[in-house]
């Protein structure tokens, strides 16, 4: 997921050069960002609603804290891609 975000961010200008459309670049960024955020968000919903007792166990286990931190990191990366895509969709960055 993180590699997909890095690929999109690194190819923004070449996609724009190819298509000459900020709408396409922005829409693609929003869709990729939502895709990136989907798995960590699903994990969070699963953790909050279906496995309530697991949250207490995560605080005792370092690997559980690492898993939670990685999910939050991927969610933040996806959010950055969504913001970049929305910015490209609504107006040209100079």
Task: Evaluate whether 48 touches 54 at the Cβ level (below 8 Å).
Answer: no
Asked whether the CA dihedral 10, 11, 16, 18 is positive or negative, the reply is positive
Could you give the CA distance from residue 29 to residue 10 in angstroms, rounded to a whole number?
Answer: 12
pLDDT of residue 80: 93
More confident residue, 17 or 85: 85
DSSP states along 3-67? HHHHHHHHTHHHHHHHH--HHHHHHHHHHHHHHHHHHHHHHHHIIIII-HHHHHHHTT-HHHHHH
Top pLDDT among 94 and 35 is at 35
Per-residue model confidence as pLDDT tens digits over 47-84: 777 766 666 666 666 667 788 888 999 999 999 999 98
Task: Report whether pLDDT(93) > 60.
Answer: no
Does residue 89 surpass a pLDDT of 90? no
Residue extents of the structural domains in the chain: 20-90
């Amino acid at each position: 997921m993180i590699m997909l975000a890095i690929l999109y961010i690194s190819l923004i200008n070449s996609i724009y050069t190819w298509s000459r459309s900020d709408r396409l670049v922005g829409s693609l960024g929003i869709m990729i960002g939502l895709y990136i955020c989907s798995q960590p968000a699903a994990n969070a919903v699963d953790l909050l609603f279906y496995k309530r007792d697991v949250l207490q166990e995560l605080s005792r286990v370092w690997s559980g804290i690492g898993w939670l931190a990685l999910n939050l990191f991927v969610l933040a990366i996806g959010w950055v891609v969504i913001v970049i895509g929305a910015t490209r969709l609504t107006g040209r960055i100079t």
